[in-house]
A and B are shown apart, each in its own frame.
Chain A
């Protein structure tokens, strides 16, 4: 199984809502990533988890809260978002972190719209 799954595919939320994005992989990968991608722009790294611990936070606002409950799951909790946070949110995994030849496997993304 070389697939990264993400749910939901689409999400529409108001600025006062709380929602969560979910990501799952069963490849035994120990590094997992959240990216944000705006239209016609490259993916921007948000968070990196390595062995279920947060390794990198790219100065992301606290209204985005990541969580890694176990080695297969990665969540992104959303609260009090702004319309400019509307984007495609991508999850990825790789075998490990800290190796120069990591191939990342990406999920299909969650298309988030904040009203």
Chain B
């Protein structure tokens, strides 16, 4: 299993950039790194996915170094509505079954 480790919680303020780092030391060669966002009592929602280097979409950026043993989700200029749990997923050792890590609870303050 591609086990992932990420901080349990983070605090930020509106307008700041937030970076959440996830470590995945035993990531398999074929594994992609995927991040999901979850609000209370809702299903997770896909944010971004990458294999290596940098990926950017309208919501976030994802940085993956060359060794792929970690990744960083970057949320630019967060707002109160970005308060949620963010999950870093590694696929299960090449089986492509995504495995949720413990998640990072991000709280954005006014």
Residues in chain A within 8 A of chain B (CB atoms): 4, 41-45, 48, 56, 88, 90-92, 97-109, 111
Contacts and interface: CB of A to CB of B under 8 A. Distances in A.
B110 interface: no
B80 interface: no
Interface stretch (B11-19, B69-77, B96-104): B96-104
19 contacts: A4-B43, A42-B87, A42-B101, A56-B97, A90-B43, A90-B44, A92-B43, A97-B96, A97-B97, A99-B96, A100-B31, A100-B96, A101-B32, A103-B49, A106-B45, A107-B43, A108-B41, A108-B42, A108-B43
Contacts, number: 53
B46 A104 contact: yes
Q: How large is the interface on B (under 10, 10 to 19, 20 to 34, 35 or more residues)?
A: 20 to 34
A102 B32 CA distance: 9
Contacts of A99: 96
Interface in B20-60: 30-32, 34, 36, 41-46, 49, 51
